[in-house]
Amino acid sequence: MKPLRISAYTVTSAIGVGLHASFNSIRDRTSGLKPCSFEPRLDTFSGMVAGLEALPVRGELSVFDCRNNRLAQLGLQQDDFVAKVDRARKKYGSDRIAVILGTSTSGIQETELAYVNRDKKTDLLPESFKYATTHNLYATSNFVRRYLGLTGHTSMISTACSSAAKAFASAWRLMNAGLCDAAVVGGVDSLALNTLYGFSSLELVSTTPCRPCAQDRSGISIGEAAGFALLEWPEQSDNTSDYFLKGYGESSDAYHMSTPRPDGSGAAMAMGAAIKRAAIEPAEIDYINMHGTASDVNDSMEDKAITRVVGTTTPCSATKGWTGHTLGTAGMLEAAISLLAMEHGLIPGTQNTKTIDPAFTSEILLENRPAELRNVLSNSFGFGGSNCSLLFGKGGD
Amino acid sequence: MADYYLSGLGIFGAGLVGWQTSKPVLAGREKYVLADLPKLAPAILPAGVRRRAGSYIRLAAEIATEAVAASGLDPSGLASVFTTTESDGTITDAICRAICEAEPAVSPTLFHNSVTNAPAGYWCMAVQSMKPSTSIAGHEGAFSVGLIEACLQIDTELNDMLYVCHDVTMPHPISKVANIKSDYGAAMVLTGEQKKTSLAVINLEVIPGSKTLSEVGIKAIDEIRTGNPAARCLPLLAQIARNESGSVVLPYNDFQHLQVTVNPCN
C-alpha cells in the first residue's frame, strides 16, 4: 500500500508525559507500574498517569471534563503536537483532517462516580453528570476534534484492546478514498473500576508488576495512556519525518470472547496481512513489539504466531512491564514505542521478566539492545477476537 | 467513492420486524402499526451464549442473520462493521451498581460481554468468520460513519461486507442521560459487484451540513428515527423500499452530512 507519513506523534503513559520522558524510562529501565493507588482495595499494580486530578479540561470545553478527557488533553499538550496539527489545518482546511481514535471504555469512570453519588431513594444520577460528553463512546473523539479546531470526519473505534491500532487502518482507508487529506489517529483509555474489577473477575490481573512472556507470568497490570499521531501523504506534506505507516493487517479469531485462539492463527493472519500490504518479506522485519500482556494464553499464542510468520530469529519484546496494559489505547502507545525504538536505534527489552517461558520459540529479548531498525511490526489483540498488526518503517520507498 | 451494491437487508424496530414485512410499510403502501417488540432468540447463537446475552448482542445477531440470509452469501466470507452509539447500557448499569458495593463483585460473564465489540465477536464465532471486523461509534452520525467504513473496506480490502448498526434501550437510571427511546437496528450486506440478490446500488457523497436531513414522512416511523441514533438510517431504507431512484441526506458529524444516492437494481 501507499505509505502514510507519521508527521507527528506523541504519547503519555505511566512511563512519561511526552516522548522524551517515555524514551528515557525505556532506556533507563524504569517501570511505571506501582501499587494501585487508584483503587487501594485491589491487590495489584497499575500504570497510572499522576496528577490528572489537578488538570481539568480547559474552560470552554469544561463540559467534557472527566479523567479520560483530562488524559487526552495532557497527551495533546506534549511534543508540540497541537502546533503541528495547526500547521496541517491551515494547509488542508479544518474539514479535511479526520479524527479517528480508539478506546475501550471512554470516560466510564464518570458514570461510576455518578452511580456512587446517585439518589438513594429515586436511584437518579446527579444533575451535574454529563454523560454524552464524558462516557459516551464518541466523547473523547469529539473532545479531541474540538480541542484541535477540526470540523471533519470524527469517529471512535471500540474493539477492546485492538481499538487504537485499528484507527490507523481506518485512517488509511479514509485518506485513500480522498475523504480527508490528513488524519489525527490515536487512542485514550483511563483507569476505571469497571476494568480493574472486571479483569480481576476473570482472574487475569497479577498481584505483582506484570511479567510478559515469563515462565512464571501471572497476569496483566492495567495502565492508562493517551497518544496521537498525525498522518499525511508524503508528497503533500512539507514535514520531513522519515517514519511511515507501511502496512496494517486485521483479522478475527472467531474463537472465544475473552480467550485468544490458542494456536495463534488469528494473530498470524493479522501479522501476515500487514507484511503483505507493506510489500516486504517477513525477514525484513527488524523488531516486533508484541501485544505481550503477560496473560498465560495471550503470550503463548502470540509466540506461536510470531514463530509461524517471521520464524525464530526476529527480535521481539513486550513493553507492558513498563506501562501496564493500556487496553484500547495499547495500539497507539506501542506504535509510539515502536517509532521511538526506530528513531533512537534501541530495541526495548521485556521489563520485569527474568526467565522466558521455555516453551517459547521466538527471539524474545529481555535486555535493551541497540540496533538499526527499518521495519517494525506492532501487535494488538483484543477481546472478541479482534486482531490488528501495524507495520511502521523508516523511509517511504 | 465507488458504487456499492446493497445485497441483503435486515431490520428490527417497533412495528418494523423483518425487511419483507417492513418494506411496504416504509414505502407507504401499507399502514404502520405500532407493536410491542418481540423477544429475540437468534438461533445462530449457541444456546449458552444466547442465554447469557442481553438485547445488545441478540438484536445484532438477529438482523445480521436476516441480511446475510437474504444475500445468499456465505457469512464466513464476509468482513464486518458494527456501529453503536451507546454499546450495552444494561451491562454498564449492572457493573456500575456492583462496584458501588462495599465489596465489589463484577460478574466475569458480564464483564467479557461488556466490550463494545461483543456482538461482533459472537457473530464472528457463530459463522466462523476470521475476516476483519470493526466496531465503531459516531454519536448522531453513527450510521453514516459505519456505512463509510464498511464501503471503504470493499474498496481497499476487496471484501464483501456485513454492516450492522443498532442501539438498544438502557435501564433506569442511565436511560435518563442517553437518548434511546426504543430498540432499533438495521443490517445490510454490501458488495462491490452486483449479485442476484442485489436490491439497489448506492453511492455516497459527503456534503456540507447545511442541507436539511431527510425524513421518512410517516410520523410514527420518524419518531423511531429520532428516538434511536441507529434509526437515522430509516430514510435510506424507505428510499430502497420505494424501489425508486433518489437521494437521502443523513447525519454524519457536526459539520457534514452524508448524501446517499439509491438506484434500484431491478
Residues with Cβ within 8 Å of A39's Cβ and at least 6 positions away in sequence, in order, are A191, A193, A196
What pLDDT was estimated at residue A85? 98
For B123, the closest chain A residue by CA position comes to A254
Closest-CA distance of chain A to residue B21, Å:
32
Q: How far apart are CA A24 and CA A48, in angstroms?
A: 17
Average of per-residue pLDDT across A79-88:
98
Flag whether residue B99 sits within 8 Å of chain A, measured between CB atoms. yes
Give the number of other CB atoms < 10 A from CB of residue B27: 17
Architecture of domain B3-199: 3-Layer(aba) Sandwich (3.40)
Euclidean distance between the first and the last CA atom of chain A, given in angstroms as a whole number: 11
Nine-digit cell string for A359: 516453551
What pLDDT was estimated at residue A237? 81
Contact A75, A12 (CB under 8 A): yes
Q: Which helix (H) or strand (E) holds A182?
A: strand A182-189
Q: Is the pLDDT of residue A31 over 90?
A: yes
CB < 8 Å to B165, chain A: none
What pLDDT was estimated at residue A170? 98
pLDDT tens readout for residues B155-183: 998 899 999 999 999 999 999 999 899 99
Flag whether residue A197 sits within 8 Å of chain B, measured between CB atoms. yes
pTM reported for the whole predicted model:
0.98
Q: How far apart are CA A255 and CA A234, in angstroms?
A: 39
Flag whether residue B48 sits within 8 Å of chain A, measured between CB atoms. no
- The beta-strand segments (E) located in A301-361 are 315-317, 346-347
What pLDDT was estimated at residue A387? 98
Q: How far apart are CA A301 and CA B234, in angstroms?
A: 43
CB < 8 Å to A194, chain B: 92, 95-96, 99, 106, 111, 114
Q: Is the pLDDT of residue B266 over 90?
A: no
Q: What are phi and psi of B3, to 5 degrees?
A: -90, 145
Average of per-residue pLDDT across A186-196:
98
CB < 8 Å to A115, chain B: 96-97, 99-100
Q: Is the pLDDT of residue B31 over 80?
A: yes
CB < 8 Å to B162, chain A: none
Q: Does A174 contact B148 at a Cβ distance shorter than 8 Å?
A: yes
Residues of A forming the active site: 161, 291, 325
What pLDDT was estimated at residue A62? 97
Mean per-residue pLDDT of chain B: 96
Nine-digit cell string for B92: 454498564
Q: Does B120 contact A159 at a Cβ distance shorter than 8 Å?
A: yes
- pLDDT category, A397, cuts 50, 70, 90? low
pLDDT tens readout for residues B192-230: 999 999 999 999 999 998 889 999 999 999 999 999 999
Q: Is the dihedral of CA A90, B254, A159, A103 positive or negative?
A: positive
Flag whether residue B207 sits within 8 Å of chain A, measured between CB atoms. no
Cα-to-chain-centroid distance, residue B180? 14
Q: Give the residue carrying C-alpha cell 499521531.
A: A229
Q: Does B111 contact A198 at a Cβ distance shorter than 8 Å?
A: yes
Q: How far apart are CA A316 and CA A104, in angstroms?
A: 26
Residues with Cβ within 8 Å of B12's Cβ and at least 6 positions away in sequence, in order, are B18, B37, B40, B59, B62, B63, B166, B183, B184, B185, B186
What pLDDT was estimated at residue B236? 98
Q: Give the residue carrying C-alpha cell 427511546.
A: B181
Flag whether residue A95 sits within 8 Å of chain B, measured between CB atoms. yes
Contact A209, A38 (CB under 8 A): no
What pLDDT was estimated at residue B243? 96
What pLDDT was estimated at residue A38? 97
What pLDDT was estimated at residue A122? 94
Which among B137, B178, B256 has CB closest to A155?
B137
Q: Is the pLDDT of residue A10 over 70?
A: yes
- pLDDT category, A240, cuts 50, 70, 90? confident
Most B-contacting residue of A386, A387, A390 (CB-CB within 10 A), to test interface: A386
CB < 8 Å to A131, chain B: 174, 177-178
pLDDT tens readout for residues A287-316: 999 999 999 999 999 999 999 999 999 999
Most A-contacting residue of B133, B159, B179, B255 (CB-CB within 10 A), to test interface: B133
What pLDDT was estimated at residue A52? 97
**Residues linked to residue A250 through DSSP beta bridges, in sequence order:** A388
Q: Which helix (H) or strand (E) holds B220?
A: helix B219-226
| Percent over 70 (pLDDT), chain B | 100
Q: How far apart are CA A71 and CA A55, in angstroms?
A: 9
Most A-contacting residue of B103, B115, B175 (CB-CB within 10 A), to test interface: B115
Flag whether residue A157 sits within 8 Å of chain B, measured between CB atoms. yes
What pLDDT was estimated at residue B201? 98
Domain boundaries, chain B: 3-199
Flag whether residue A295 sits within 8 Å of chain B, measured between CB atoms. no
Q: Is the pLDDT of residue A166 over 80?
A: yes
What pLDDT was estimated at residue A396? 58
Average of per-residue pLDDT across A156-181:
98
Domain A4-394 has CATH 3.40.47.10: yes
Flag whether residue A168 sits within 8 Å of chain B, measured between CB atoms. no
- pLDDT category, B184, cuts 50, 70, 90? very high
Flag whether residue B94 sits within 8 Å of chain A, measured between CB atoms. no
Bridging pattern class, strands B133-137 and B78-83: parallel
pLDDT tens readout for residues A324-371: 999 999 999 999 999 999 999 999 999 999 999 999 999 999 999 999
If you write DSSP's letter for every residue of B24-82 in order, what string do you get?
A: HHHTTSS-----PPPPP--TTS-HHHHHH--HHHHHHHHHHHHHHHHHT--GGGEEEEE
Closest-CA distance of chain B to residue A392, Å:
19
Mean per-residue pLDDT of chain A: 97
Flag whether residue A61 sits within 8 Å of chain B, measured between CB atoms. no
Flag whether residue A208 sits within 8 Å of chain B, measured between CB atoms. no
Cα-to-chain-centroid distance, residue A382? 11
- pLDDT category, B1, cuts 50, 70, 90? confident
Average of per-residue pLDDT across A374-390:
97
Q: Does B124 contact A254 at a Cβ distance shorter than 8 Å?
A: yes
| Percent over 90 (pLDDT), chain A | 97
Q: Does B253 contact A153 at a Cβ distance shorter than 8 Å?
A: yes
Residue A99's nearest CA partner among A67, A62, A147 is A147
Q: Does A111 contact B172 at a Cβ distance shorter than 8 Å?
A: no
Q: Does B135 contact A159 at a Cβ distance shorter than 8 Å?
A: yes
